[in-house]
Structure 1
Amino acid sequence: MGKHIERIERRTLLKSLAATPVLLSPLAAGCANHGSSTSAGTLNIGQISDSVAFFPLFVAEEKGYFKDEGIKLGERPRLGTGAKVAAALKSGSIDLGGGVLTDAFNLQKTGGAGGTKVTTSLVTEYYVDIVIGKKVRAPGDTAGLESRVKALVGKKIGITGPGSGTEALVTYLFERIGKNAKKEATLVNLGSAATSAIGALKSGRVDALSFFQPIGQQVEADGSGRILISPARGDVADMMGALHGVVFTTGKLLKKKKDEVDSFQNAIKRAQQDVQGDPDKVRELLEKYLKDTSAKALDALVPMLRREMPQSPEVEKRPYDTARKFHLESKLVAKAPTFSEIKG
């Protein structure tokens, strides 16, 4: 009962604050880049793209959960890369960033104010797939991982950008067979737009893609290629159950926006429970979110999301430690904070 009353009081306070205009003094305005640039009760939330990882944010917004929890949403930019999300967090232009754990580690490396804090677990499988075009000769799904990776040597592989989780997967897979992806393949930066990535594969500009879901499902649905390697389906044993899709921020921003982040978590939890609910309703929402996705791809995605997405936004130690080990052993990062250091 006490927690319920506290939640109602916080929601009421946040609604009041969000409705109240805040006038910044010249001094406060000058300091905006060193902390949040939004008023109390408001959250600016940036994310890399509209990949499936951020579906719960869409559900919470679509169903009014943020509003119910007393949060006013400000800017909602799609920033294209994790590096841009991190830069926006450091400048204070966004309060929360949606990305992958690699992005959070990179922010920690560049020194976000107060350290990096991961607040929200969105996907607990590595939801990037290696997708090949029809002209690429490669072994089938039953072949060993090593032989499938070898089929990528010498190929042009599309990624979202440098330092991304899409580049990280290619780097890791090549290192498993003793190869350097930057020397023995051509990595092509395509940005995060699904249409551009699929277009590049179809036109032959790239031979393969290392891209987030639902790119692979869309490619298979239209017959232009197939998924060669998928960590989320268990193709890479060391990566199974790894925390991947996350919301993160800096310690300084989190301290300033604690009540708002608590309410954000409540809204996301409601959305995650919806994802685990009626499959037909999930599909309806997913169709709204992924507007240009074929019916066949949507059908494939619904059961997949229910397996990959947790029932709570709470960041748990086992998925985090699995992901941390993967990043360190693959040398994707030189250092990675412990669970207690990074948990928001």
Structure 2
Amino acid sequence: MLKMKKTAIILFAAMLLTAATGCSSTTSSTTAPAAAADKKKEEALQTVKFSEVIRSVFYAPHYIAMEKGFFKEEGLNVDMNTAQGSDKGAAALIAGVADISLVGPETAIYIYNQKGDKTLKIFHQLTMKDGSFLLSRNKVDNFKWSDLGGKSVIGWRPGSAPQMVLNTKLTQEKVAQTDVVTNIASTAMAGAFTSGKGDYIQVFEPIASSLVKEGKAHYVASVGQDFGAFPETSYVATSDYIKKNPAIIQKFVNAVAKGRAWMQTASSDDIASALMPFFDGTPKDIIIQSVDRYMKQDTWPAVPELNAQQFDTLQKVLIENGVLKPEQKVADINAVVDMSFVKKIGKAE
């Protein structure tokens, strides 16, 4: 009897083992191929080392392209870091630690005039307005640019696009004796202002809306809207990289274009939801406000092309600000600009 019980137990255990093995085998056969396919797809993506100048909602189409998977649709994996300055972003390209940088297009002109071994080329014009906003410490009704006379403004580093745009605007408005502070790091500007430095501050979104919401500043003007069209931020790569990797550049341009197109039909809430992973700790209402401000000033052009007229405007501002001598003006736009990839957006290969 005992022997029979033992035999029954052994048989029952064997049945359980067979059932478990069968179940495991079935699960493996259904999930393993899918997992393997996903892994293979990930491995097939080409990695692009990408450097952005700063983190700002000003560059929303790029983040949307990342979050909505448009880069992956094009077969690219974007490895992104933040340079904290166009000069650093350009240096990363020259050093080979970045493949593509989002920087001020003036960097390509500076590098070209150095006559070094490497040159940079602008291949996509992401923004067509300055992205900064002017905030005041005390409420100002009916702001006029002349209100800045005799006041101090926390601004951007010398030679940077927002600093030059502000300086040119002050010159155009004939505003005298404005002290523009340019020696504070971009990451420390808001802190310096809230601690009591400066009568005004020039900042990008979402910092501008955050300071206003916290009651630490008052919105007075959009520098970009008041200044007008200006090619402030471009995608740039070395001439060598573009020559060796035209397919990657085209895929990159296509993905960003998809990001901008998606934003044109998406709701403010959906756009903010897609951007939130890139702005940890920033409330959704602030992101919505930031996007709305950039949308209203027509920041992102439908055709992201840097043309001859805009290039001339850029060089004029550089000369007016003393960072480019008249004799250093680049006569041939093609020396530092390649818009051939932009012209192929939406066209079948």
- Normalised by the shorter chain, which TM-score bucket? 0.7 to 0.9
TM-score by length of 1: 0.74
Whether the aligned pair in 2 keeps the contact of 1:55 and 1:289 (CA below 8 Å) is no
SS of alignment partner, residue 46 of structure 1 = strand
TM-superposed CA distance for 1:260, in Å, is 0.7
Separation in 1, partners of 2:277, 2:77:
22
Separation in 2, partners of 1:270, 1:177:
38
Report what 1:230 is aligned to.
222
Matched, 1:211 2:203: yes
TM-superposed CA distance for 1:330, in Å, is 4.1
Report what 1:35 is aligned to.
none
Matched, 1:190 2:184: yes
Whether the aligned pair in 2 keeps the contact of 1:103 and 1:164 (CA below 8 Å) is no
Which of 308, 313, 337 is matched with 1:322 structurally? 313
Report what 2:56 is aligned to.
51
Report what 2:91 is aligned to.
87
Report what 2:68 is aligned to.
63
TM-superposed CA distance for 1:84, in Å, is 0.8
Cα deviation code 1:145-177 (max 9, x no counterpart): 3x133143xx2x333434322332343244446
Q: How many pairs are equivalent?
A: 294
- Indicate the percent of aligned positions where both proteins have the same amino acid: 20
Report what 1:120 is aligned to.
124
Aligned partner of 2:160: which letter? S
Which of 276, 285, 305 is matched with 1:287 structurally? 276
1:144-155 correspondence runs (5 A): 145=145, 147-152=146-151, 155=152
TM-superposed CA distance for 1:295, in Å, is 4.6
Cα deviation code 1:85-132 (max 9, x no counterpart): 111111111011112233333333444644321111111111122333
Runs of at least 5 residues in structure 1 that lack an aligned partner in the other structure: 1-14, 21-39
Aligned partner of 2:119: which letter? G
Separation in 2, partners of 1:294, 1:17:
34
Separation in 2, partners of 1:142, 1:180:
16
TM-superposed CA distance for 1:206, in Å, is 3.5
Separation in 2, partners of 1:300, 1:131:
15
Considering only CA atoms, is the larger Rg found in Structure 1 or Structure 2?
2
TM-superposed CA distance for 1:294, in Å, is 4.2
Separation in 2, partners of 1:319, 1:174:
20
Whether the aligned pair in 2 keeps the contact of 1:128 and 1:212 (CA below 8 Å) is yes
- C-alpha distance 216-151 of structure 1, shift in aligned 2 (>3 A): farther
SS of alignment partner, residue 265 of structure 2 = coil
Report what 1:23 is aligned to.
none
Separation in 1, partners of 2:179, 2:304:
37
- Alpha-carbon RMSD across the aligned residues, in angstroms, is 3.1
Whether the aligned pair in 1 keeps the contact of 2:124 and 2:235 (CA below 8 Å) is yes
Separation in 2, partners of 1:241, 1:230:
12
TM-superposed CA distance for 1:300, in Å, is 2.5
Whether the aligned pair in 1 keeps the contact of 2:68 and 2:274 (CA below 8 Å) is no
Which of 251, 270, 275 is matched with 2:239 structurally? 251
Report what 1:36 is aligned to.
none
Matched, 1:340 2:334: yes
Moved more, 94-103 or 283-292: 283-292
Matched, 1:41 2:46: yes
Whether the aligned pair in 1 keeps the contact of 2:150 and 2:179 (CA below 8 Å) is no
TM-score by length of 2: 0.73
- C-alpha distance 151-50 of structure 1, shift in aligned 2 (>3 A): same
Report what 1:27 is aligned to.
none
